[in-house]
Structure 1
Amino acid sequence: MKKIYLLFLLITYANTFAQVSGVGVGTSNPQQTLHLAGATGTVRVDGLSSTNNAFNGGGFDKTFPLYVNNNGDLTLSLSTFTNSDGTDAFTGTTLLPAAAIVIPTTATAPNNGTRNVLILAYPITVTRNVVLEIKYNISFEVYRSTGVLLKNNRARRISTFYTVDAVLGAGVSKHGQASKCYFSNDTSVTVFAAPGNMYNSTSTYIPLTAGTHTIRFYGEANTGTTNDLTLVNFGIGNDSVFMRIY
């Protein structure tokens, strides 16, 4: 009977102490709700091991990121805001408008050799201040005109980027800029520049405030200081977009 009474007192004391100051392991003065004292203190959760969790890739010398879901549960599962996951992110039904650049466009257009086009506008709503990670892989092809390959020795710079909450214009910031140079050094009538898809890729981090925002992906072509005849089609390959909120 005395042993039961003593055990009851110890449990009562532990519960009272935990309610007031937290639970300490290796310390009688916990500084948090759960405090592991000592230079080698850590937490082990068997449910997150490689044996019990498919998201743990295993390996003696490897580690994996740990996340918290909306319930406060610890998890190894990565939740993304959007992930094309191998499917084509920019298709004929998503491109806004037809994502093609023609140089020159009209006789009255600026003679600066630069044109841009909106590829896709993507709305996003967040409920708190966040950092948004954006990775993209956007395809394009370069021609002289529809169905006609290039065969002059002027280079074309093809760029992609995106804006946040703004239509492209003077003073608008370009984020995630990536470029390729397309060039043919043979003007022979029988030799043309190589056809095929090319890709621009990049990864960036952008701070966003709580609310609704619009991410606008753009393509740009530049032929130098003059309007050399050029056609660039964007989004013609297997494109990808990955977004994640921190």
Structure 2
Amino acid sequence: MRNAYIIPAVLLMNTITAQVSGVGIGTTNPQQKLHLDNSIGTMRVENLDKDNNEYNGGNAVPTGSFPLYVDNNGVLTLGLIPLANSDGLDAINHLTIPQASVTLSNTDADGKQEGTILSYDITVTRNTILEIKYSVSFETYFISSPLTIIKDGAARRISTYYVLNNQTRRYGQASKSYLNNNGNNPAPFPATQRMGAVGPLYNSSSSYIQLTPGTHNIKLKAEVSSGLPSMATHVKLAMNTDSIFMRMY
């Protein structure tokens, strides 16, 4: 009867050892639940190869490689699932955004004016890193009515950035300095003597924002500044093809 008790005990001990140490391929001392020794080489998953996966461009790029992702079910995939991706389309319609323009008056006390382009509410259930990439177009003028170009030779800075929950930190800040020189000074700067060009400029940047569990507000903002004394400036936002990409990790 004693042997009858010993055999199950040995089997139980072996089972516990396997559960604790994991499964090793090429090693007798696995350090994880699944441990592939370096002598084994690479791992191959056929449903991710060029013949079985539409996201693998191996046939078109035989020597290329592609990023590997994990979906919410823990499945390995080549398909990127972003929170937002304009993918070549215009991401921002200047006719429907909360603030289509930002205007700085020549009597402004601090020489800068801010506006909100877009606002997002994002809810997460775990600690998350939000990746943001964007490109926003804008056109710069002196005044809005009538729409007049800048001819005073002074520089203006147009900045775009994201803020989290209305805090002061700026994520992904990008700036352009607009300067339209004129050959005739001082005023009235005849239009026939101006030097410079009108048309869209772009601010482009990327950033990573850490989010804790809960609902957060993300705002894409624009700021126009000239220093003091304040210089009249009118900036029209999202006037050309704009792009936004967001992904959570």
What TM-score, normalized by structure 1, do the two folds share? 0.82
For 1:134, the aligned partner's letter is I
- Is 1:141 the counterpart of 2:139? The answer is yes
> Which deviates the most, 176-185 or 23-32?
23-32
Aligned to 1:7: none
* Distance 1:18-1:49 versus aligned 2 partners, 3 A rule: farther
**1:67 counterpart (69, 79, 94):** 69
CA contact (8 A) 2:26 2:39 kept: no
1:192-231 pair list within 5 angstroms: 192=194, 193-231=196-234
- Is 1:185 the counterpart of 2:181? The answer is yes
Mapped to 1, the partners of 2:236 and 2:183 lie a distance apart of 23
Q: Structure 1, residues 66-119: CA drift from partner, whole Å, max 9, x if none?
A: 1111222111111111112222222145411x33122217x5x41x32111111
Mapped to 1, the partners of 2:46 and 2:53 lie a distance apart of 9
1:116-131 pair list within 5 angstroms: 116-131=114-129
Give how far 1:151 is off: 1.2
* Distance 1:165-1:141 versus aligned 2 partners, 3 A rule: same
Paired residue secondary structure (2:138): strand
Aligned to 1:151: 151
Q: Structure 1, residues 171-220: CA drift from partner, whole Å, max 9, x if none?
A: x1111110111112214411344111111000111111011111111111
Mapped to 1, the partners of 2:243 and 2:22 lie a distance apart of 47
CA contact (8 A) 1:36 1:42 kept: no
Mapped to 2, the partners of 1:173 and 1:32 lie a distance apart of 40
Paired residue secondary structure (2:47): helix
Q: Structure 1, residues 3-53: CA drift from partner, whole Å, max 9, x if none?
A: xxxxxxxxx9xx969964543322344343333224343311111112222
Mapped to 1, the partners of 2:223 and 2:210 lie a distance apart of 24
Mapped to 1, the partners of 2:105 and 2:242 lie a distance apart of 27
Aligned to 1:104: 105
Q: Structure 1, residues 202-245: CA drift from partner, whole Å, max 9, x if none?
A: 01111110111111111111123112221111112111111111
How many residues get paired? 225
**1:175 counterpart (158, 171, 180):** 171
Give how far 1:61 is off: 4.2
CA contact (8 A) 2:136 2:203 kept: yes
Paired residue secondary structure (1:227): coil
Unaligned 5+ runs, structure 2: 1-10, 185-189
